[in-house]
Amino acid sequence: MWNDDMTLSLASDSRRRFLQRSAGGIGMTALSAMLCSEALAEHGLPTTHHKPRAKNMIFLFMSGGPSQVDTFDPKPKLKDLVGKKLDLTNARNAGYPYALPTAYKFKQHGQCGMDVSELFPNVATCVDDICLIRSLCADDNNHPGGTRQMFTGSARSKRPGFGAWLNYGLGSENGNLPGYVVMGGGTRIGNAAFASGFLPAQYQGTNFSVGRGAVVHHANPLLPAQQQRAQLDLLKAMNREHAARNAEDSRLNARIEAAELAFRMQAEAPQSVDLKQESNATLDLYGVSSKNRSTSEFGMYCLAARRLVERGVRVVHITQPHREWDHHGQLKEKLKTSSYTVDQPIAALLKDLKQRGLLDETLVLWGGEFGRTPTSQGPDMNSRAHYPSAFTMWMAGGGIKGGYIHGETNELGTAIVRDRVHVHDLHATILWLMGLDHEQLTYRYGARDYRLTDVYGKVVRDIMA
């Protein structure tokens, strides 16, 4: 908690730890958390560990692993080494590790002079609001493990995703919408990326569609609202009676809350992603057009994300189809298509958030589960293998230092030489920007206290404004 007139008496202990000690069982923790959140909100008291830099977060997940040397980390030295073997670490599937320079031109943009590939001409116009992190690293070389670690912090264990942790720690600012919304394609681990794991079930991500009723099967066309309310009240009373006899099962309390939220969502959820309410100029800005279907789908998701954070949804994840960035072949052709699909919508999202005064309080994260090798995977010289040892992601808004490059790889892009940032550090930093201390945000499960970063992670303060 930060020092002000509304500091809670729980300052020396996390709110969540207090709830776990006082709830009288895992099954009641979820209900106690809801009641505590409502009480804190009623009295206007903060529920974070310190003053947050960001209120909301949007994660633009490029599933498959974008190539950093073709997009945001230029390595001109590779041109001089074509056909020469490079020494790679943690690239078990490299196969044919011979230097492969990019086929795309890089140019400096913005007042900061940040180098960006010609693949992202629209995002390049936003670089003064972007912090490039060129020194990311992860532990797993395969899509399932890499995706699991990027979302949950663990490449092997089935743990809560960081969206669920944020939802658990902060909740939604809008009682009629979920705190955590997921849109777009699937991941290599399915919905496990958005699951609540051992956290109470109501903190998992809720799948939203755009233009197809927002949430599938949440409306009840057979009963008017008054009858639905009476039905829910009776069901809630019966469930509460059952919960009193089964206090160890958090799923029942999650069902109670899910039924209540679904009822409240019937009016607000469809409106939240109803793009017909947007002007033609806004739709054009995001590339939402029947004439250009390449950008339309991702553009709709980005525009819906802005509408959702505008309405108090805490976390929005947008995922491209799981093979979109997995370029083991036809790199030059497919990378151009993948980039074109997202470039205009992402730039539109950043500009729209900024124009509406929302970028300062909305943290935007872009990247995949790992990067690609600076070498060719095969003799075709038109492919790249997975590479978690040194890759790039970027952040914008939400207390981030714009026009800034953090970290550095060597002249060939094979290793990090300055300011290494592990996925655990990334997660610790995200939580910190949202007002949560990664060492204090814990949940007791299986007789031990778990956290998103396990026993690792440090906050990367150099990237903060």
Could you give the CA distance from residue 261 to residue 271 in angstroms, rounded to a whole number?
15
The H-or-E segment that residue 363 falls in is: strand 362-367
Specify the higher pLDDT residue, 232 or 340.
340
pLDDT class of 219 with cuts at 50, 70, 90 = low
Q: Rounded distance, CA 342 to CA 82, Å?
A: 30
Give me the percent of the chain exceeding a pLDDT of 90: 65
Per-residue pLDDT tens over the stretch 116-135: 999 999 999 999 999 999 99
Determine the average pLDDT of the residues in 276-281.
Answer: 93
For the segment 395-451, what is each residue's pLDDT rounded down to a tens digit? 999 999 999 999 999 999 999 999 999 999 999 999 999 999 999 999 999 999 999
Instruction: Read off the pTM.
Output: 0.84
The residue among 291 and 343 whose pLDDT is bigger is 343
Cα–Cα dist 40/34, whole Å = 10
Q: What are phi and psi of 347, to 5 degrees?
A: -60, -40
- The stretch 185-205 carries a mean pLDDT of 91
| Contacts (Cβ under 8 Å, ≥6 apart) of 83 | 98, 99
CATH class for domain 55-214+273-463?
alpha beta
The residue extents of the domains of the chain are 1-47, 55-214+273-463
280 confidence band (pLDDT: 50, 70, 90): very high
Beta-carbon contacts of residue 173 (< 8 Å; ≥ 6 apart): 55, 312, 313, 314
